[in-house]
Structure 1
Amino acid sequence: MLFASILSTSRASGQIRGEAYLGEPFGVAKIDFPADARFVPAGLGVEGVLVDEQNQRVLYPVVSGPPLGGFFADLVGVAPPGTVYFLFRGQAPLQVTLIGRQPVPVVVQPRSDARGYMRLLNDWWNKYAGEKSQSDYPPFVDVYLKSMLAYRFGLEPPAAKDDSWEEWFRSKLGLALSSEPLRLAMIRDRFFRGAYYKQTADQPLPDPWDASAPVTIPDVENVEVEPIAEHVPQECFYIRFGSFENFLWLQDTMARWGGDFQNLVALRSLNYGIKGKIEQQLVVKQSALARMFGGAIVADVAMIGRDLYFQEGPSFGLLFQVNNGPLFLSDLLNRRAERVKRGEAVEETIQIAGHDVSYLHSPDGRIRSYLASDGNFYLVTTSRAIVERFYEAGAGKGALAGLSEFRHARKLFPVDRDDTAFVYLSRPFLQALTGPAYRIETERR
């Protein structure tokens, strides 16, 4: 019997009905229930209805209901049905319990019917794939499950939805500040474009977008810029704090927001422990003594780098302009020596661009820290390439301070404004970040 269990309510339209079809690798079932106030949990609607099975056979459930129910249904005297769809394994009767205001048992006997199976499977998929992810939890599991199920059943993957302009803005801004959108796209591609990742990399890269046109901005030669900008490679992002106290403010703010720049503009905040990873990788955790006297030792601080993908391992560094080089260097070297003494890392002195550079590293990559100095400027970074460009910029080759666009920005936002933080994303930085070479590098991470 198809409807193996029918439980009547006070209205004929308020019946609980179930149907189920056998299939491989999963069977598919649905149960209709009355979406009125006597069954649906108050304040939650049909989404508050839970489904359980005696032998834990309910898989990938989704609840669907009318746009109006509850009080409205009672008002007009009609109880529109809600429906719960789910997959299951096995051929035995399903001993289901619907949990609304009170638990209601339902027994459903699966049967073989190829046409009915495909009809109900498509109904389930339309509801399951069309359910929009919530913004308060990571979307990776949701995207993985939907992509995996579409691949296994040969169904159409979920279609992209048209987001509001606010969601579009957060997404586009987040793409530059976090790797999440790229990782989600890669999850989908792994299922539906698997052959793409097995191809031999034997083709030349396409050219990045053309940024070679000269940018002529008049009257910027005499604009005052901070000395630290003369040591920043022009292809790096630039976050300048102006003082050690402002730098501590950022550290404390990032600790409250989970250590991820995207959390500052996203609706959800997830703690990936990134702040701790950065401190561990660079070996730059601030001590109580440094917090107390750092302002007297450090004149200026900037964070620079080629990307902000901190979860995967960024190419970035901290650049300091110091008043007391020996004291500042002594504190950094003591922290590095502690890691060596504990057997956590190995320190060696290497030559980069004709300068002696301290390279502290561990076999597993948890610690990767270059310490370079140029006069009273000290750089701690994860990237050898940034060290090379640091010395070139200090010699006047490709420094951020030499970009006319940067000087124009400083004309609009003078140094003497004493901002807590000054953020500048240069044209070369955006060109490199959005170019094909860096996209491939990001995927390989």
Structure 2
Amino acid sequence: MLAKPKWAATLMLAVAGIASSTAADATAAPVAGQAVVGRPFGIASVSVPLSGVTPIDPELFSLSEANGRALYPVFQAGGAARRVLGQLLGAGIENLPPREVTVSFLFVGDEPLNLTVHTPAPVAFTLRPPLPNRRADDRLLGQWWRQYHAASQQRASEGDYPPLVETYLSSMLAGRLGLETPLLQRRGGNDTQHEALKTLELLAGAESLHMQVIRETMLGQSDLGQLADQPVPDDVLWQQPAIEVNEQVAIEPIAALVPPECFYIRFGKFSNYLWMNRLTRDYGGDLANMIAGRGLDRQMTAGIERQLAVKYNELSELVGDQVVNDLALIGRDTFFNSGAAFGLLFEAKNAFLFQTSVQQERAAVLAREKENGATEQSIEIAGRKVSLLSTPDNRIRSFFAAHENYRLITSSRAIVERFYAVIDGEQSLAQTPEYVYTRAYMPLEREDTIFIYLPSAFFRGLVSPQYQIELTRRMKAEADIELLRLARLTARNEGSPAQSIDELVAGGFLPREFGRRPDGSGPIEAGDTILDSRRGARGSFLPIPDVELTAVTRDEAFNYAQRAQFYRENWQQMDPLVVGIRRYSLEQDGADKGLERLVIDANVAPFAEQKYGWIMSLLGPPTNERITTAPGDIISLQASVRGGLLSPNVPPHHLFLGIQDSVPATDLKPGGLLKTLRMLQTTPGYLGAWPKPGFLDWLPLGLAGEPDIYGFSQLPLGLWRRQFEGFSVL
């Protein structure tokens, strides 16, 4: 809590000095300042006049104090009315030159503050504490907190990185100073959120959910201090679809060794796997960032190779198909950014040569990682000898198992156990009716470059108590590691010597009970690295099937019961997903060298119409017509649609979308109504329907008024619409 202020004053100060490079041109200007001394922080606000007519970029503002005593500054350029209009209208008024900049900040101590405000020209002055025995209310603190919280939210929404720092600082300061989230910036909770959406967010590791865990941990609203004294909940009782299969369907031999609960990505040839590797390395991170709106280097391919201790080079490309007959990526999940349960299953043409190559690579990794604690040991699983190459932090965790001409390299002991269970007679993926049914309509003769099969048992596993509860615990463990790092950096920035968990808790940088999770785990130090005591290093946590779940907390039991009830009542069965990808060279059609076309077939089968009927009702009848795309389109989507259950009055028609390969007319950051509308206006693309009336006519586009003689009309949003020859195009 912030102590009652000891002194307060409103001061009119003069500029005491500026940087020597500009001293000759400087003229004294009044600086309005106000300060309140308190514990653990004082609060101050100063306003510095600005000169000149050019727009000011607030990103260039900074504040420094000679002894590092000024902390957590927030800048406001212009008056309150200007800020309100700027937030409403966006870029226009923000680009007008403000008359002053106000900076509010916290400070430590009660000595004079030797401050320099950079706008970016430096303005230096001294803010002196007033005489004692004068009182002031918390107006300054409330003003600073509203501005600081708003600035944090703006940086979080506009930044090219997850708002981890902003979330930590806002939560830490709120708990430390006894402050609440400003009323206008509070958001409703997730209590009414669809359970299926909650599951998807958890499985996808949604950024918003991760930030929520950070906030709850810092504010003491998580399960810190709870006991795991409840039994593990029962799994959902799923219905099994009745499937008639043709036993004469041809199935690839490698599928007979895959556990039925694993996802299955078959490449057929080693060269196809290398092609996918290159594609993922070159474009996978870009696509993920485009979806997430962030600029991160996830290095998924490198992470897979590092953890499994496999490395492919130019020689692999030359001789891979001569050594490997078939290859599949299998696994229980795809959490490659945090620690996945996955493996590579090989069918070798020359088992001796393949085994020798793998062992040589593992020996090289062992020698290279010896100083990091790497070991290789022979362990027994299901009565077979299995090689385990690993490091204490699980950055390397590679089981190497063999059976006849097949070799499995996996991060998960549980997958090895199930691999041998299938070999010993338990049902394999190839024996499940779902997979036989799938191979009947997507036969081997298609020769897919990549064949992806996600069985219903795979999806059921993701919704099991093991996965749902451990995923939540894993997210909290990851948050603990991040919070400990941030707390140490923050303490150092404040000049505090606190570094241990107990010291950081005592200083308010971490919450009480921090690091004491219900499962007995917590952050520990291993040299310069912070690990979770049970799961290892962030980014390579112990695979979820390898984490033993023996008991849960009351909150965990309640939350899973809610989720299980939803699935029992609304989603009684999971449906397998199958995707076939084929690649074709376009060089023979005169295209540039190396240019390829990918044909992707995706199916949900068997299909539960009661769950997806409303989606199917939107699909129009099959058609042999298509809309010719515009020159320069880099993305083109077309669909035959109709109103269906959503809007029965909309007849069948074509809906088409195109995105152009061109630079938008303006480079705008999101923020403000005007900026949002301009962003829509300047997107280089189009959305259309044919023939009329279509979905576009279902929208309230009549606001544009009557079209001109060429069919053009302008919408209030700044968008244009054209209607001609049965087309309606935005």
- When normalised by structure 2's length, the TM-score is 0.51
Distance 1:269 1:240 in 2: 30
Counterpart of 1:87 in structure 2 is 106
| Paired AA for residue 252 in structure 2 | E
Distance 1:81 1:398 in 2: 74
Matched residue, 2:146:
123
CA–CA distance in structure 1, aligned partners of residues 441 and 189 of structure 2: 37
The change in CA–CA distance for 1:342 and 1:266 in structure 2 (over 3 A counts) is: closer
- Secondary structure of the corresponding residue to residue 143 of structure 2: helix
Aligned partners of 1:162, 1:106: CA distance in 2, in Å?
Answer: 45
Residue 242 in 1 paired to residue 250 in 2? Answer: no
Equivalence for 1:136: 160
d(CA) in 1 for partners of 2:283, 2:197: 16
Task: Please give the per-residue CA displacement for 1:107-131, whole angstroms capped at 9, x wherever unaligned.
Answer: 5445652333443344344424533
The answer as to 2:50 corresponding to 1:38 is no
Deviation at 1:389, TM superposition (A): 0.9
Aligned to 1:288: 314
User: Which stretch has the larger CA shift, 146-155 or 219-228?
Assistant: 219-228
Q: Does 1:428 align with 2:465?
A: no
Distance 1:348 1:103, change over 3 A: closer
Q: 1:193, CA displacement in angstroms?
A: 3.4
Secondary structure in structure 2 of the residue aligned to 1:91: coil
Matched, 1:323 2:349: yes
Secondary structure of 2:180's counterpart equals coil
Relative to structure 1, the CA distance from residue 90 to residue 39 in structure 2 (aligned partners, 3 Å threshold; closer, same or farther) is farther
Q: Does 1:199 align with 2:223?
A: no
Structure 2 vs 1, CA of residues 91 and 230 (structure 1 numbering), >3 Å: closer, same or farther?
Answer: same
Query: Partner of 1:11 in structure 2?
Result: none
Distance across 2 between alignment mates of 1:151 and 1:335 = 51
Following TM superposition, by how much is the alpha carbon of 1:294 offset from its aligned partner in structure 2, in angstroms?
Answer: 0.6
* Match status 1:299 vs 2:307: no
CA shift in 2, pair 1:277/1:364, >3 Å: same
**Alignment match, 2:522:** none
SS in 2 for 1:131: helix
Match of 1:355, as an amino acid? R
State the 1:273 CA deviation.
5.6
Q: Give me the whole-angstrom Cα distance separating, in 2, the residues matched to 1:147 and 1:193.
A: 10
Contact 1:19 1:30 survives alignment (8 Å): yes
Alpha-carbon contact 2:251-2:439 (below 8 Å) kept: yes
In the TM superposition, residue 93 of structure 1 has moved relative to its aligned partner by 3.9
Separation (CA, whole Å) in 2 of partners of 1:161 and 1:406: 43
Q: Specify which of 42, 52, 56 is matched with residue 64 of structure 2.
A: 52
Q: Choose 46-55 or 196-205, whichever is displaced more.
A: 46-55
Q: Distance in 1 between matches of 2:121 and 2:109?
A: 27
Match of 2:598 in 1: none
Q: Map 1:103-118 to 2 at 5 A.
A: 103-105=122-124, 107-109=126-128, 112-118=135-141
Residues 1:178 and 1:223: Cα distance change in structure 2 (over 3 Å):
farther
In structure 1, stretches of 5+ residues that fail to align are 8-13, 164-168
Do the aligned partners of 1:178 and 1:262 also contact (CA within 8 Å) in 2?
Answer: no
Distance 1:405 1:131 in 2: 48
Letter in 2 for 1:29: A
* Deviations 1:99-151 (CA, angstroms, capped at 9, x unpaired): 33633345544565233344334434442453341441243222222221221
In the alignment, which residue of structure 1 is the partner of 2:399? 370
Cα offset for 1:293? 0.3
Give 1:3's aligned residue: 11
**Partner in structure 2 of residue 233 of structure 1:** 259
- Separation in structure 1 between the aligned mates of residue 151 and residue 91 of structure 2, nearest angstrom: 23
CA distance in 2, matches of 1:95, 1:352: 68
Counterpart residue type for residue 51 of structure 1: L
> Within 5 A, what are the aligned runs for 1:360-399?
360-363=389-392, 365-394=394-423, 397-399=426-428
Change (3 A) 1:183 1:73: closer
SS at match of 1:247: helix
Q: Could you say what secondary structure the match of 1:92 adopts?
A: coil
- Measure, in 2, the Cα distance between the counterparts of 1:136 and 1:73: 22
Instruction: State how far apart, in whole Å, the 2-side matches of 1:266 and 1:74 are.
Output: 29
The Cα shift of 1:329 comes to 1.3
What is the Cα deviation at residue 60 of structure 1? Answer: 1.9
CA contact (8 A) 1:217 1:408 kept: yes
> Is the 8 Å Cα contact of residues 19 and 109 (structure 1) preserved in structure 2?
no
Q: Distance in 1 between matches of 2:427 and 2:14?
A: 77
Report matched runs for 1:268-279 at 5 Å: 268-271=294-297, 275-279=301-305
Please say if residues 34 and 45 of structure 2, whose CA atoms lie closer than 8 Å, have aligned partners that are also in contact. Answer: yes
Q: Is the 8 A contact 2:155 2:163 kept in 1?
A: no
Q: Which amino acid aligns with 1:206?
A: P
Structure 2 contact 14–30 (Cα < 8 Å) conserved: yes
Q: Choose 184-193 or 372-381, whichever is displaced more.
A: 184-193
- Return the structure number with greater relative CO, CA threshold 8 A, min gap 6: 1
Q: Given the alignment of the two structures, is residue 61 of structure 1 paired with residue 90 of structure 2, yes or no? A: no
SS class of match (1:4) = strand
| Cα pair distance change 1:71/1:378, threshold 3 Å | closer
- Larger deviation, residues 295-304 vs 418-427: 418-427
Structure 2 Cα separation of the partners of residues 383 and 395 of structure 1: 19
Query: Structure 1 residue 55: deviation in Å?
Result: 3.4
- Residues 1:51 and 1:266: Cα distance change in structure 2 (over 3 Å): same
In the alignment of these two chains, the number of paired residues is: 428
Determine helix, strand or coil for the equivalent of 2:399: strand
Maintained 8 Å contact 1:281/1:368: yes
Alpha-carbon distance in structure 2 between the residues aligned to 1:226 and 1:214? 24
Q: Which residue of 1 aligns with 2:213?
A: 186
Cα deviation 1:283-325 (Å, max 9, x = unaligned): 2112432232012211222222223333443222111122222
Report if aligned partners of 1:238, 1:302 keep a CA contact under 8 Å in 2.
yes
CA–CA distance in 2 between the matches of 1:106 and 1:221? 86
Within 2, Cα distance between the matches of 1:191 and 1:321? Answer: 50
Q: Is the 8 A contact 1:316 1:383 kept in 2?
A: yes
Q: CA distance change for structure 1 residues 35 and 367 in 2, over 3 Å: closer, same or farther?
A: same
